[in-house]
Amino acid sequence: MNTNTIESVKEKKHHEFLSENTDFEVRSMDTMCVNESELRHPVWHNLKYMAAGILFGVILIKAEVVSWFRIQEMFRLQSFHMYGVIGSAIAVGALSVFLIKKFKIKTMYGEPIEFISKKFNKGNIIGGLIFGFGWAITGACPGPLFALIGNGATVIIVTLFSAIAGTWVYGYFREKLPH
């Protein structure tokens, strides 16, 4: 078998893997995080994601994005700050995604970067509203929950466990909920 055939067999296998893997299918409906890398690295390689997390944590605190007060201001239309943060983050993110697609930029390991489209379901609206209720009450979405704990608001550990419980209860009733 020459290299080309091996490549095409590999590719075919990968597609079969994607289409037959129901776990993948379940996940694609529920999370953005569906990229499958077939590269296997030792666990310490994950430290680079920790470094990215540290950067994100620093920004969340320094920009006061995790502040309950800033979130109230945002929802009462009393400040531009949060709209500026989220809006400019999307602008930079969108430009980056555009450039990655246009120039077919690869990962540092040389893998092609894959984007998978999300399918609409009613949960985007119903769940979105419920999340919005919780966001306004706690002043925190999931990222800030972690940042607030690091900031010293230790009682937010309870909020984090509640959020994990909420995720679990969703998983339990998932089949019965409208999607």
Partner 1 sequence: MNFLEWIKQPWPWYVAGPLIGLIVPLLLLIGNKAFGISSSLRHVCAACLPANIPFFKYDWKKEIWNLFFVGGIIIGAVLVTQFFSNPNPIELNPKLAADLQAHGISNFRGMVPTELFSWNSLLTVKGIIMIVIGGFLVGFGTRYAGGCTSGHAIMGLSNLQLPSLIATISFMVGGFIVANLIMPILLKL
Q: Per CB under 8 A, which of residues 58..117 are in contact with partner 1?
A: 58-76, 78-97, 99-100, 105, 107-109, 111, 113-115, 117
**Applying CB under 8 A, does 137 fall inside the site for partner 1?**
yes
Site track for partner 1 across 38-57, x = CB under 8 A: -----x-xxxxxxxxxxxxx
Site for partner 1 in 3-22 (CB under 8 A): none
Q: Residues 69, 63: contact at Cβ < 8 Å?
A: no
* Three-state secondary structure call for residue 26: helix
- Toward partner 1, which CB reaches closer, 18 or 149? 149
Q: Residues 24, 34: contact at Cβ < 8 Å?
A: yes
- Toward partner 1, which CB reaches closer, 1 or 76? 76
User: Among 2, 3, 158, 176, which residue sits at the site for partner 1 (rule: CB under 8 A)?
Assistant: 158
The nearest distance, CB 101 to partner 1, in angstroms, is: 9
Q: Residues 172, 179: contact at Cβ < 8 Å?
A: no
User: Among 8, 103, 165, 176, which residue sits at the site for partner 1 (rule: CB under 8 A)?
Assistant: 165
Both tokens of residue 14?
A: 């990968």
Sign of CA dihedral 103, 105, 111, 114: negative
> How far, in Å, are 60, 138, 145, 149, 155 from residue 158 at the CA level?
20, 11, 10, 10, 6
**Applying CB under 8 A, does 121 fall inside the site for partner 1?**
yes
Alpha-carbon distance 179 to 171, whole Å? Answer: 13
- Toward partner 1, which CB reaches closer, 2 or 49? 49
Alpha-carbon distance 55 to 60, whole Å? Answer: 9
- Toward partner 1, which CB reaches closer, 8 or 88? 88
- Toward partner 1, which CB reaches closer, 12 or 166? 166
**Applying CB under 8 A, does 160 fall inside the site for partner 1?**
yes
